[in-house]
Structure 1
Amino acid sequence: MANENSIVAIHRTPFNRRSDVDKKKLKEMGPDRPDLKLEQISTDRGRTYKRSFSSSLYANRSWLAGCAVSNAFFCFPCLLFQCTGTEILWTTTGMRDLKHFTQKCKKHESSLCHLTNSMKLSLFGRLSIAEQLDEGYRIGIRKHNEEVRKNRHILSRIIDCIKFCGAFELALRGHDESESSDNPGIFRGLVDVVASLDGALKDHLDSATVFKGTSKTVQNELLDCMLAVVREKIISEIQSSDFLSIQADETTDISTQTQLVLVLRYLNGANLEERFFEFIPLQSATAATIAMALKERLAAILPGEQKVKLICQAYDGASVMRGTSSGVQKRIQDDYPTAHYIHCYAHQLNLIMQQATSHIVKVKNFFSDLGGLAAFFSRSPKRTVVLDKTVARRLPTASNVRWNFHSRAVNTVFEHRDDLIDCFERIRASDGFDDKTSHEAGGHIRLLEDPDFNFFLKLFHRIMPHVDILYAKLQNRNIDSVYINRCIQQFQEDIQKIRDSVHAMVVEHRSGSEQPRKRRAIDQDELKRIATEVCDTILGHTKERFAFKDHLISATLLDSPQFDHYLAAFPEVALATTLKAYPVLDGSRLKTELTLIYGSEEFRTCRGAVDLYQLFKDNNLSEVFSETETLLKIIITTPMATAEAERCFSTLKRVKTFLRNTMTQDRLNALAMLSMEKRLVTDMIDFNQKVIERFASLKERRAKFLYK
């Protein structure tokens, strides 16, 4: 991580935005003077001269600073104060011309701007002799600081109220925020409650004339400051991490505005983080528009040489996102070559189940009939009352996007079939329902008694729990490709067992069937064929869609059940593919480390990359297995699903509601950040103070918030 007096740190947090304590500390530290990798070759009169950096260049120039990132020289006083007319060569771009180094330094030293900035730096933090002798001045300073302390206390309480509303997704504004209003809003009500417990805040609210702190303008300014502080924290964590992945998805909010969510995934020390960063409004949901929006944000997050940190981009399977010629993933990879694409595995699981249940007519009709049961009750509260009394369980509505809803419907009907038949019979026997309702209830009774319907109900009652288990694992944040690879293998084994038992299931079903059916039944061979085809479709599509190819093949190198096989025959092809996908790895050392891991019993109990990475950290093995740890970081940082983006959409729907549909984009992002990253906000001990510092520096205020 960069030193506080480095050029990178000063660019990130300018001198005028720092507190007085930080400013004085920066002055005491002086300019950063690292060794620069700077070389220059020039030709003069047929002879070639090579000039390179020397630490002696810093000699006799107390104002000269260097930047190891940009490999350039800067002027420390000009960088801090930047009075009008200061040359950007010495503050922004940096000076790299070694041939004319001495001349440019002399010219800059004699400039008025440099002398002005140097004088300001020398006098900063010092008082004049008259001020030092003036007792009245010192008394004024004490009074000023006492007033600042009081104002900061009041503002901190107001910030706490806004944080509370944001964390619990409550609307701050009320219908009428005047003193006599009965509906001033949650924020004003919360401020009044806090004031009843804090005498200083109550006195301020009763007597304030300059700055009360409860206006909508102050709310918006504080929210902007909170958002900026949290984003700075997230960016600082990313800059200290080795790799970064992004997740993105788009939806339409209540005001029909297309919103693109950006989620960042990275390792913060030993902790895996998935952070919400921003909702980005889009004019159109085209690949060019989405890619441009993402590139703008990534440029601020990963400037310059840090582009190589971006190792993955995860989206859903929409063609605009996954297109290999002009899709978003291709456009991003053109600028970030190491940003490999991941098609969300949870989304692919939904596609697998859709394929397995839509191309077979009998199965498609089964799920259509199953959805009709829930639709029958959803259209009438009167019918629902009978359902609650008889079954005491609601029927989930089917969804083509979330297959866990289908699973809940299958399980509910399977477990409460007899109760549902009783419910429909009560509806038919009751005089309170019309003929159409009675007719539909009779149809549902015949459906629930139909052996073919019950066979498919039993079949999917056995299949769906395994789909639910895999789906739940894909929703977890702390997953990696190694762990998911093992979960997929287990899923395939479970579906294969069901396929192998199809014949016995059909025989058992036919032998247990009740009296003959009125409508034509499916014969035994046809039932077996359909059930087998369902299992084969799931297995085939799982093998095809979840096959680890290209960059994901790196996960197979650390699949512990394969260690014995790898010890006998090292996976050279997988290693070569991994090195091609991630050139940052040292192939020879990685092979040596993996060979050692394959032969050690201690590593065979790890369930995935996260467990193995934690084992390295707990036992101080990072230096021994440095390349393997780098590979683990890559695997862990690579997201296998975009579940966090979906969670962000849920927050979006709770924050921007029908009654709050005119909310500005900045306010939406701030409130969403306070909600989704509430733990991060809570863990930042100095969060309120940073917000106050930023709030005070926004503009000149009559109320005093900065200490002298």
Structure 2
Amino acid sequence: MKYQSKIQSEDHGTVIEQLNSTKINTKKATDETCDVTVMEQLRICLRYFNPSTRELVERIFCLCEIHSQTGETIFDVINQFLFDLERELDKKCILVGQCFDSASSVRCQAQGHIRSRINAFAFYVHCRSHLINLSVKDTLTNEFNKSYDLIHRTLVFFQESPQRHDTLKRSQIFHETSKEGSKVPSASDTRWVYHYQLADFVWTHMVSIVSALIQIHANNKDGLETANGFAIRFVNEKFIYEVGIMKIILGHAKLFLKQTESRSMTFDKFSTYLDSTTIRIENTLNEFDYEIYKQKVKECRVLLPMTHRTAHSTRSSNPINNNSNDIHIDMAIGLNDYSKKFINSTLNSINERFGQDSRIIMDNISMFTKLNDYSNEEVLKNPLLNLYFNEMYYKHKTVNHKIYERTDEPLLCFAKLEKELPQIRVLLKSANNEVKRRQEKKTINDEVCLLDILKFLSVNGNYLVPEWLKLYQILTTLPIGSNECERSFSALKRIKTKLRNNLSSTALETAAKVSVLKSNVTDDDLDDIVQHFYMYPGRAKARNIKIYKHENNGDNSTDDE
């Protein structure tokens, strides 16, 4: 349609103009999903620095249907996309990074094809958000397995019945954990980090949940046996304690994920956030409020006598003793020792997930934000820097046992970097001072990051330190995750299923972009849309849209459909 074409052309033209102004192109994030029309959709996202606006840009550039998920097929689509882009830009694009999740077709095959057939410097980065998600999954399915399973099944039990859900809402109001009754959250099958919402809900409404379960059992409502079993297990002190620890750990993981999802996230900031998240999880016990814990245990135990196990119950027959501690441990010492296995399990998972991937980047990138703290020799021997002023060779073996090999010339010149080193040190001092001046009015000052330095150099270092400017542009735009692709998945879900089969691939791509970028639609734009549908009523009908035209005939006016 006309308006869709207008949006598509304006958005495409803007991106092409920005890419033409960049000196180092480009970093790519790719992901795929099966949408509601049962089509496999591949998203290609570009990440680059726009010197005219001094912004780090990350946006969807292509959404296309694929008929196979093999690495070869994905490579062919990406290769054709880059070929068309270079022809339109009339210049060579330098691909210096690629980001996928851990699917073998992309992690092993597609990225191998790209490095061995397009650019050997296109280092593969495992999506950081995906790694965080996997770390949380490890923790929930290992150490927290039993308590998490109980949380999940209990909340599903309430969701399955409007009557049970209503009982829970009334219990929340009665126990004053919610004014109107909070909605029961749902678990995501893939986004394990967001299971924090389940732990937070249960911790907040613990007493209300137990009370609601007891009411369901006492009133002989549907599911009374299940409610009775859940209630008995909910008042166990170990379970209550685990929920509190789980809530804190998952809360830090969720905050970490939110930080990494920012479009302006860079590897140096990510490393800082990873370290701080690890420290916060290590200090989980300092955050745990034992007084609130004891109060919840006490209130649940007051409700416990109302619960009686039936004679033919097939559930666990472990006795519940109201006058003694079930787990027979000292509150101050025993619970702390008991909780360490959960904390250590989470930390071990984080270390394992992030311990191998992209280590040469993670371990060496922070030097370039504090270059003046190091000697010339230390700077020039940085392993990450050495990658770019040496030839890069890459060899890839396909599933069909074909061999692809490629050697690319260095992206940077060592002699120029060495010559410009004194100037870059002076400029970095000025960049630090400028950032500090901007942060004088802030209550919390952020450390100078790669993006701050790149913004400064893009204005002041074009002619003084062009080789270092290239390096900072490469380092700043290294891909962190495929979050922009994930945003497009969410956007597609918001497009009505009924309309999806009537949308062309271009229209679908435009709709996803508009949803993600949140473009402003003016009154003139709306007039264009209405006029177009009025001229082509068949298109309006296909989209279930009715157009009403207001006609003025002298003093009389009628509304015609």
TM-score (norm 1): 0.57
Distance 1:345 1:378 in 2: 32
Matching residue of 2:30: 248
Say whether residues 1:645 and 2:485 are aligned partners.
yes
Give, in angstroms, the shift of residue 290 of structure 1: 0.9
Asked whether the 8 Å contact 1:470–1:488 carries over to 2, the reply is yes
The count of aligned residue pairs is 455
Give, in angstroms, the shift of residue 336 of structure 1: 2.1
Matches within 5 A, 1:253-652: 253-269=35-51, 270-303=54-87, 306-323=91-108, 327-334=109-116, 335-360=118-143, 363-391=144-172, 392-430=181-219, 433-434=221-222, 437-498=223-284, 518=319, 524=329, 531-547=339-355, 548-553=358-363, 555-560=365-370, 564=373, 570=379, 572-574=381-383, 575-577=385-387, 579-580=389-390, 583-584=411-412, 586-589=416-419, 591-592=421-422, 595-596=425-426, 602=433, 606-616=447-457, 620-652=460-492
Matching residue of 1:136: none
**Cα 1:630/1:510, change in 2 over 3 Å:** same
Please tell me the residue identity of whatever aligns with 1:584.
L
Asked whether the 8 Å contact 2:369–2:453 carries over to 1, the reply is no
* Counterpart secondary structure, 2:519: helix
Distance 1:513 1:378 in 2: 25
- Structure 2's unaligned 5+ residue stretches are 173-180, 305-317, 393-409, 437-445, 533-561
Give, in angstroms, the shift of residue 628 of structure 1: 3.6
Runs of 4+ in 1 over 6 A off after TM superposition: 504-517, 565-568, 597-601
Give, in angstroms, the shift of residue 646 of structure 1: 0.6
Asked whether the 8 Å contact 2:132–2:193 carries over to 1, the reply is no
Of structures 1 and 2, the larger Rg is shown by 1
Asked whether the 8 Å contact 1:245–1:313 carries over to 2, the reply is yes
Give, in angstroms, the shift of residue 381 of structure 1: 0.9
Please tell me the residue identity of whatever aligns with 2:241.
F
* Counterpart secondary structure, 2:190: coil
Distance 2:35 2:159 in 1: 25
* C-alpha distance after superposition, 1:172-211 (max 9, x if no partner): xxxxxxxxxxxxxxxxxxxxxxxxxxxxxxxxxxxxxxxx
**Cα 1:579/1:493, change in 2 over 3 Å:** farther
- Structure 1's unaligned 5+ residue stretches are 1-218, 693-708
Give, in angstroms, the shift of residue 319 of structure 1: 1.2
Matching residue of 2:406: none
* C-alpha distance after superposition, 1:6-60 (max 9, x if no partner): xxxxxxxxxxxxxxxxxxxxxxxxxxxxxxxxxxxxxxxxxxxxxxxxxxxxxxx
Say whether residues 1:670 and 2:510 are aligned partners.
yes
Distance 1:408 1:280 in 2: 34
Give, in angstroms, the shift of residue 401 of structure 1: 1.7
Distance 1:308 1:599 in 2: 32
Q: Alignment RMSD, CA only?
A: 3.7
Asked whether the 8 Å contact 1:316–1:343 carries over to 2, the reply is yes
Please tell me the residue identity of whatever aligns with 2:22.
S
TM-score (norm 2): 0.71
**Cα 1:400/1:336, change in 2 over 3 Å:** same
Asked whether the 8 Å contact 1:567–1:595 carries over to 2, the reply is no
Please tell me the residue identity of whatever aligns with 1:587.
L
Give, in angstroms, the shift of residue 296 of structure 1: 0.5
**Cα 1:291/1:443, change in 2 over 3 Å:** same
Give, in angstroms, the shift of residue 332 of structure 1: 1.2
* Counterpart secondary structure, 2:49: strand
Give, in angstroms, the shift of residue 344 of structure 1: 0.7
Q: Which has the higher contact order (CA 8 A, sep 6+)?
A: 2
Distance 2:83 2:283 in 1: 50
Asked whether the 8 Å contact 1:593–1:628 carries over to 2, the reply is no
* Counterpart secondary structure, 1:248: strand
Asked whether the 8 Å contact 2:237–2:327 carries over to 1, the reply is no
Distance 2:291 2:208 in 1: 26
